Amino acid sequence: MAFQILLNVFIAVIWMLINSSVSATSFIVGYIIGLLLIVLFRRFFKQRLYIGRLWSATKLFLIFLKELTLSNISVLMVVLKPDLENIQPMIFALPTELEHDWEITLLSSLITLTPGTVVLYVSDDQSTLYIHAIDVDDVDEAIHSIKNTFEKAILEVSRS
């Protein structure tokens, strides 16, 4: 991925030199031309195109913003409930398929930032996250929704 971006910048610089005009405009034009060339020559790269990975990262960010807003509102409802005797906190285990360190860090940061869940402990073999949930009606449903939104999106970003 880094190699493709470097190659793209290199093509843009070459385009600036060919036109002998060193300006932001010609850099952008050269970058777009380089992007087209990289898309055309995609079968020579071992990894997938970096533009696709960028797109899935954007999608992950949008999912995150949506979840953040929705679940902040749900915590607001919990806090402002007249009787707090009815909440059911629980610590549950979430098995994860992610392998790299940065993926697990990202997943636990996202889980912690969406209210309703805080990651308390990552098991030593990094295969399970222990999560404290503030009000759990159905643990399976919570696990299912985390797996379906965040883990799927992170897997899509890191897929080579």
Please list, residue by residue across 9-43, b when 16 or more beta carbons sit within 10 angstroms of its beta carbon and e when fewer do: eebbbebbeeeeeeeeebbebbbeebbeebeeeee
Half-sphere exposure at residue 90, Cβ-oriented, CA atoms within 13 angstroms:
14
Name the residue nearer to another protein (CB basis): 36 or 87. Answer: 87
3 state DSSP class of 97 = coil
Binding residue (CB under 8 A) for another protein from 32, 134, 143, 157: 134
Query: What is the nearest approach in angstroms of another protein to the Cβ of residue 56?
Result: 19
State yes or no: residue 157 binds another protein (CB under 8 A).
no
Of 58-87, binders to another protein (CB under 8 A) are 68-69, 72, 75-76, 79-80, 84-85, 87
Query: What is the nearest approach in angstroms of another protein to the Cβ of residue 40?
Result: 35
Query: What is the nearest approach in angstroms of another protein to the Cβ of residue 118?
Result: 5
Name the residue nearer to another protein (CB basis): 39 or 65. Answer: 65
Binding residue (CB under 8 A) for another protein from 27, 29, 42, 112: 112
Look at residues 61, 142, 73, 143 and name the one whose alpha carbon lies nearest to residue 109.
61
Residues contacting another protein: total by CB under 8 A: 35
The binding site for another protein (CB under 8 A) comprises 68-69, 72, 75-76, 79-80, 84-85, 87-93, 108-110, 112-116, 118-121, 123-124, 130, 132, 134, 136, 139
